[in-house]
Structure 1
C-alpha cells in the first residue's frame, strides 16, 4: 500500500507536469480540456488565405503525387489517361478538404473534439486512436525520407568520404550506416520545430513553399535539357482495355484520393486557426488541385527524361538525386543536388510537422489533456516513429505497405461521418460546452459515452470492404464482386457512412441533437471546479479512512 507521504509527492509532481495554462485563463486542464483543445480564441486565429495556399503547395509537392504516375501506369493507363485521373484526384481532394474543414473555420474546433459529437464522449477516442496509429507509421516513413534528403546534402558537401563510408550494419538491418546517420541528423534538425505553436508556423511554411517549388521546377528544367526532350515514357499507350481498364482507372482514382485521406479528414485541425471563415477556401479549391496535378505531371516528365539519361525509370525523387550523385561527382552535380536536397529537406520537415505532428499531437492531447498538449504529443509521436525502425517498411515494404496504403478503408467512413454530422445532422449547430463534459449532463454522452449511430455507420461503411481488402493484401483478387467493391472502397465507405449516419439520427434523434450553445469559459471552469472539488473531498475522505485503519 502506498503511504500518504508518497501519495502527496506523486500528487505534487503530477501538478508540476500538468500542461501550461494561459495567463488569466478562465479554463482549467481537465481530462477533457486543455489549451490546445478549446475553441481557438481570436488572438490565435492568424492564418490568412495565402498561408493556406502555402499549406497546400507543401501538401501537393511531395512523393505521393510525384510517384502517382508510376501507380497508374502499372495499372495499364496511358500517360494522358494518368494525367486526367490525377486532375480528378486534385479536384475531389479539394472538395473533401472544403467540407471536412468547414467545421473548423466556423466553430474553431479540431477533428479531435468534433469527433466527440459524432461518436460520443468516450467513443470519440476510437477515430483518434485510428489516426494516431496511422500517423506513427507515416511519421516514421516521412522522417526516413527526410534522412535521405540529409544524405543527399551531406554527400554533396563531403563527397567521396561520405559516399564510401563503411557500412557496419548487417544486411538484416535493412539500412546502411550512412542512411542511419542521416536519419538521426534529420531527427535532431526536426526537434526544435514542435516548439513553434501552430499559429506561428506561417514563416517556416512560406520558406518551404519557395524552396520546394523552385526544386521541383529546377529538376524539370534540368531533366528536359539533359535528355533533349520528355523521353519515351510520355508516349506510352495504355496496356489494358475495356472493362479491365475502366475498373483500374476507378481503382487508381480512389487509391490516390485515399492517400490524401488523413489530410482531408483532419482539415479542421488547421482551419480552426483561420483568420476569417473563408480564409482556407482559396488554398483548398485552387492551390490544392493545381499543385497535386502539376506535381504528378512533373513527376512523369522528370522520370521519363531521367530514363533517357540513366537507362532506368526512377520514380522516387530522393533516389533520383542519389543516382545523379553516384553517376557524376562533378562540381555542378554536387551543387545542383545540394540545393535540391535542401529543398526536399525543408519539405520533409514541414510535412512531418504539418501532416503528422500537429494533428496527431492534438489527438494524443485528447487521450490525456492534463499532461499532454500538441507539443508534447508531437514529441511522443517522434519517439514512436523512431522506435518502429521505419527503414524496414521503406526498403523491404512487402505486404505491410499495401496494408498501410489501403488504410483509407477505415478512414473514409470517418470522413463521411464528420461531414454528415456537421452538415446533415446538426446543420452546423453544436452545444460546444458539452463537448468538454464527460458525464450524463453532456448532450454527447449518448449511451455510456458512446454514440451507437456513429459506430453503426462506420461498421456498415467499412465491413463490406474487408473481403476485398484481404484479397488485395493476399494477392488473391480475381475480379469478383468483393474485389470490385474494394476497388471503389473510398467512395463506398465515404457515402455509405455519410448517409447511414444522417438516416439513423433522423429516425432515432438524440437528446439536444439540434440547437447551439457557446463555450463560456468561466461557466465551464465553475462546473469543473465543483466536480473536482467533490472528487477531492472524496479522495481526502478515503485517504483519512486508510490512515486511521493503518494506525495500531
Structure 2
C-alpha cells in the first residue's frame, strides 16, 4: 500500500480526540532549550533515551508498554518469581508466627493451603492488564486513581518496598554469615566489639554490608533478565531445605514434639486464629500481589503465566513452611531449642562439629538461601520500587536509578532493630496488606467491571482533560474515598497489635484478624456501588486504541484486537494527522477497499511519511 493510502486509512480510524491527545503528548515530550546553568544541569540528569523512546513528565522507556521481543517469561519464570518469596528465610520461619497463635502444625498448614490458593487466584486477576496491554503497576494506578491521583498508590508501594528491602537484606546478611562461617572458624566465633547500645553484632554487620554490596550491581540488570538465575536459586534452595529436613528428622528419629501438640482453643477462637493465620501469610506477599502487572507484562503468553504463578505460590508456599516447622520441631528435641531460621541450625551444626562435612553443608545451605534472598529482594522490592519511582519522576528516574535509590535508603530504616530490640515491626508486618489490599481490589473492579477489560494505552501519557484517565482534575475521587475507608478500618487492629497494653475493641480486632477477606468486601463493595451511583462516562470507555501506537503487539495480537500496526513515531503521526484531520468529517471511509483494511501487516507507517506528506502539501 502506498503512503497516500496509508494516511487515508489512518484518517478513517483515528478520532479527533486521539489527535488532540497526540498533540498534548508531543508538547510534553518537547525538549526545552537549555539557556541557564540550571536547565543544562537538569538536562544532563535526564534518563537515557532516544527518539523512538521520548521522555516527558509522564513517560520514559521503562514505563512504556513492553514490546513483543522483550516478553520472554514463560511457565518457569513465573514459577520462580512466585517461588522466590517461598524459598526464603521468612517463609521457612513462618511457623513460629503461626504456632504462636496456639494452632498446631497440621492446622497451620491447612490455613496456609487455603491462603495460597486465594493468593494465587487474586494474583491471576491482577495479572491481566500486564498480560493483555503489557503495562506495569504505575500505569495501572493511573487507570484506578487518575493521572495525578496515581501518586498515592505509588507512594504506598514505595514506602513498603524501602522497609521490606532493608528487612530482607538483613536476613540475606544472616545467610551470608553461613557461607563465611563455613570458610573460617574464627569468623564463626568472632567476638563482638560493638558496645551494648548497638543492637547488632560485628559479625552480623559484616554479613549485612557484604549482602548490600553484592546486590548493588544487579541494579544495572534489566528486570526481565533475572528470570533464569531466579529459577536456579529456587531449585538450589529447594534441595537445601530437603537436605536439612531429611537430616534433622532422620537424626531425631521423627518430627519431634511440636508436631504432636494439641490445640486447646475454643471453636470460636480457633476460627479467628485460622483467619489471622491466613492474613499473616497473605500480608507477607501482598505487595507482590498488588504490583503483579510489573512482571506479568513480561509474559510471552497468558496461560504459562497463570499456571506458573499458581503452582509457584501453592506448592513451595506450603512445602517450605511445613519443612520449617518440622525442622524446628526436630531441633527442639535434639538441641533443646526450636530453631526457626537456617542460620541458627547451621551455627549449631558447626559449633557441634566443625568438620569438612559440616562446613560443606553450611556452605551449600548458606549459598542457596543467600541466592534466593538476593533475587527475592531485587524482584519484590528493588526493581519494583525502581518502577514505582520512575512513575513519580519519569524524566529523571528509571528502574536502575530507582533501584539504587532504594538500596541506599534501606539503611535508613535500620533493619537490625527489627530483630534485636523490642521494636514492634515484626508484629506490625501482618498489617502491611491493609495498605495494598484496597488498591488490588479496586484495580480488579476497575479493569473488569468498570472498563470491561478494555484500555487505551495512548491516554496513560497525557495531561489532556480528554484523556480516559483524567477523571476530575486528574484524580478519581471515588477510588481515593474507598482507599481511605479500607485503610482506616484496619488501623485500629494495627495499633492493638503493636501496643499490646491497650485493651482492644473485639469487633475491630476481629476485623484486623480477617482483613484479607473484610477489606475486599468493604472497599470493593463501596467502590462498585459508587460507580453504579456515579457512573464513569467517557467517549473512549470500552474502547481500545485503533493503532498500535507503541509498536508493542505481535501480529497475532493485532489481528485479535482489530488494531492497525505502527512502526514510526508519535510525533510523525501527529504531524500527518493534524495536517489532514480537518477533512476527516468529509472523508468517506467506504472508499477504502476491504482488501486494504484486511492486509494490516502492509500498513506500517514509515518514518519518512512526514516528509512525503509535506512534499505533497
Please say whether Structure 1 and Structure 2 have the same fold, judged by a TM-score greater than 0.5: yes
1:210 maps to 235
2:443 maps to 418
Q: Does 1:90 align with 2:90?
A: no
Q: Contact (CA 8 Å) 2:169, 2:208: kept in 1 or not? A: yes
Shift of 1:410: 1.4
Note the residue ranges of structure 1 that are not aligned, 5 or more in a row.
531-552
Shift of 1:76: 1.5
- Identify which of 545, 549, 570 aligns with 1:520: 549
1:144-543 superposed matches below 5 A:
144-159=170-185, 161-475=186-500, 476-478=502-504, 480-512=506-538, 513-517=541-545, 520-521=549-550, 524-525=570-571
- What is the alpha-carbon root mean square deviation over aligned residues? 2.1
Q: Does 1:18 align with 2:18?
A: no
2:302 partner SS: coil
Q: Does 1:125 align with 2:154?
A: no
Q: 2-side partners of 1:437 and 1:119: how far apart?
A: 15
Instruction: Provide, for residues 317-346 of structure 1, a one-character-per-residue CA deviation record: whole Å limited to 9, x for no partner.
Output: 232223333333222211111110000110
Q: Contact (CA 8 Å) 1:416, 1:495: kept in 2 or not? A: no
1:537 maps to none
Distance of aligned partners of 1:236 and 1:498 in 2 relative to their CA distance in 1, 3 Å threshold: same
Distance of aligned partners of 1:524 and 1:449 in 2 relative to their CA distance in 1, 3 Å threshold: farther
1:279 partner SS: helix
2:555 maps to none
Q: Does 1:61 align with 2:87?
A: yes
Q: 1-side partners of 2:241 and 2:575: how far apart?
A: 55
Q: 1-side partners of 2:571 and 2:347: how far apart?
A: 56
Shift of 1:478: 4.5
Shift of 1:9: 2.9
Q: Which moved more, 1:395-404 or 1:110-119?
A: 395-404
Report the TM-score when normalising by structure 2. Answer: 0.81
Q: Contact (CA 8 Å) 2:81, 2:309: kept in 1 or not? A: no
Give the aligned length. 523
Shift of 1:466: 2.4
Distance of aligned partners of 1:397 and 1:357 in 2 relative to their CA distance in 1, 3 Å threshold: farther
2:467 partner SS: coil
Q: 1-side partners of 2:100 and 2:516: how far apart?
A: 20
Q: 2-side partners of 1:526 and 1:469: how far apart?
A: 53
Shift of 1:462: 2.4
- Identify which of 70, 78, 100 aligns with 2:96: 70
Q: 1-side partners of 2:495 and 2:173: how far apart?
A: 33
Distance of aligned partners of 1:72 and 1:175 in 2 relative to their CA distance in 1, 3 Å threshold: same
Shift of 1:524: 4.4
Q: Contact (CA 8 Å) 2:136, 2:297: kept in 1 or not? A: yes
Shift of 1:267: 0.9
Q: 2-side partners of 1:259 and 1:352: how far apart?
A: 13
2:200 partner SS: coil
Instruction: Provide, for residues 453-511 of structure 1, a one-character-per-residue CA deviation record: whole Å limited to 9, x for no partner.
Output: 11122122222222233223221355622222222112111232222222222321224
Distance of aligned partners of 1:479 and 1:463 in 2 relative to their CA distance in 1, 3 Å threshold: closer
Q: Contact (CA 8 Å) 1:27, 1:525: kept in 2 or not? A: no
Note the residue ranges of structure 2 that are not aligned, 5 or more in a row.
1-32, 551-567, 577-617
Q: 1-side partners of 2:52 and 2:127: how far apart?
A: 27
Q: Which moved more, 1:363-372 or 1:402-411?
A: 402-411
- Identify which of 70, 77, 85 aligns with 1:44: 70
